[in-house]
Homo-oligomer: A and B are copies of this chain.
Amino acid sequence: MVKIVECVPNFSEGRNKKTIEVIYNAIKKHKDVELLDFTPDADHNRTDITIVGSPEKIKATVMDIALKCVELIDMNKHKGEHPRMGAIDVVPFIPISDVTMEECVELANDFAKEFSKKTNIPCFLYEEAAKREDRRNLADVRRGEYEGLKEEIGKNPEKIPDYGPNKMHPTAGATAVGARFFLIAYNVNLGTDNLDIAKKIAKAVRHSSGGYRYVKAMGFEIKERKIVQVSMNLVNYQKTSIFRVFETIKNEAERYGVPVIGSEIVGLVPLEALVDVGDHYLKLEDFKIDQVLEKKLLDAKK
């Protein structure tokens, strides 16, 4: 088994082709790191990156990305809908294979320490890497955004960063560095156009209203299909499994006489989450993830 970490840095540029290209090339020169996604979003004026590799290689790559962002992006000129507080806005480390959350928290600390030392950018640790409960939630850390934080930092003791100076970087702002679990975007479609039912079921399964610990959920209408959907983020699939959430929704839907007509995994899903599904329904005994041929091949490649 080889150590694999994912990192999903977001930077505050989604329009300037030159800047985007320089950052893209900075990633591509790291041959041992796989770039799984690179999506400049002109509307939000922001780019999401997904890279995967060994902890050390990922750290080196995201450092290069971050330094380029600091060099090229001026937050004083940045406009965009998405909440943001810095040129390199967020840097979350995510354990994928043979890596613990503790190792990712350490990685976040190492990165924030080194990055703030090199650039004088204040860094705030969030989610599993948070050093204070009130910084666990990224939305809380980023509240007020670039403009608000610029006003408060240095004055409000609540805004002292975890690493770096107690003041904003003049052009690159501040950066949120975190560690979190892999997030699975998962939707369950119901054979009804009654939005009320989707909302009730979302309420039943989500953590905030009494449901599963690692589920965020909302009810939506899908007008073109004349159906409704329970749309979710599963924020820790190891502790709240896909199949358990699916079965609960099926059971709740039954209570309203509504069938579950399908479900969708949006984007990537770790193999382990799928193995858990097979394990549950087939009642597998002693199945190990490296019995999956592709997993064995991947491990052999490293």
* B residues near A264, Cβ cutoff 8 Å: 284-287
Whether B282 contacts A294 by the Cβ 8 Å rule is no
For A, the interface residue count at a CB cutoff of 8 angstroms equals: 43
Q: How far is the CA of A268 from the CA of B292 in the complex (A)?
A: 6
Give Cα distance in the complex from A284 to B265, angstroms: 7
Q: Which of A258-302 contact B (CB under 8 A)?
A: 260-265, 267-271, 274-275, 277-278, 281-287, 291-298, 300-301
**Copies per assembly:** 2
Of chain B, the residue at the smallest CB distance from A300 is: B34
Pair A265/B291 contact, Cβ less than 8 Å: yes
Q: Which partner residue on chain B sits nearest A264 by CB separation? A: B285
In the complex, which residues 198-242 of chain A have their Cβ closer than 8 Å to any Cβ of chain B?
A: 242
Nearest CB in chain B to that of A36: its residue: B296
Chain A residues with a Cβ under 8 A of chain B: 4, 6, 34, 36, 52, 96-97, 189, 242-243, 246, 260-265, 267-271, 274-275, 277-278, 281-287, 291-298, 300-301
Closest 10 CB pairs of A and B: A34-B300, A262-B285, A277-B278, A271-B294, A281-B281, A298-B298, A262-B283, A268-B293, A301-B301, A263-B282
